[in-house]
Structure 1
């Protein structure tokens, strides 16, 4: 009898394969903005690329923050270059897969965290994408990022500063999301205030009950 193998295995996302995937995703991203190029990918690739990106988003924990970030960059580059391409990506359920990934627990990776705003900005260029971001209240993913211990290492260096600048710019331009953005910032401030007032143990125990399983620190 033929051995039945699982659809995915550890070898699929080994270190060297992730390096290869990163190189390929970088090449696709650079090709998107190459002089004289178009964002459109014709033929069979038009369905294959969104499908591949969708797999990466849905299995983000397996592929790691570096691959996730580059896949997100490819998606946002395609939309920024040609906003009408959103319909192709939406048909492949790619925007939904990305929103599921960030709302289900962002990877503990500076790269994964830093790519969120540019992707939300790209999605909001389309009315359906904007509505999806509103319906999912996608900005709330930052509450856990800024108030949970597991993200401390990922928020080291320049990451907090770049996020702050990005949020400031994004809220200036995405006026329809300014209200939910302010709610998110106030919730972060309120949570940090409770931690500072000695309620940290209560918050941490509540977090362990209400939050999905912790995402390990990205090391690739």
Structure 2
């Protein structure tokens, strides 16, 4: 299976984006609107609707790829710059087009992005084919963002909250070009590197981090 990060994004007319988490059933709908006038106005997220089978926590909100989606729409970041280098930005073109109707409910939003069969195929983690109007957020496609606060060594068992924070720090270190994130985390937490690697392994097992690959930071 080709390695992907946590989210896939589908974009549709009227500024709508559907972001689907690969590790659970969380789906986020967001609407981008122009900040200004003219064809080159910046698109920013103005409306957000989240649908999740489990309670929505601040950790879930923190990992929604708002920045990467805005960058793709505005020709910024890795994905956006790739489009602009070709002289065309299909993400922006679709978002700026007019919808046949404005969806006003989650059910209508689902239909806005395709049939149930099409969405099930697009959401399948084993499916690595880029569908029309879909953006795969691969590792490194998002900007590093703000530096996470230093990690503190857990006093007891490894909780999901700690492993989410560990994954956020790990991803930030990799995005900023650090080739030895486990060593940095070991220094932050005053913990042996071997222990930190076990934490990282636990984070991968619980799907807070994608599977490791030979030769990649670990």
TM superposition score normalised by structure 2: 0.27
- Where is the helix percentage greater, Structure 1 or Structure 2? 1
- Identify, as 1 or 2, the structure richer in strand: 2
Report the TM-score, using the length of structure 1 for normalisation. Answer: 0.27
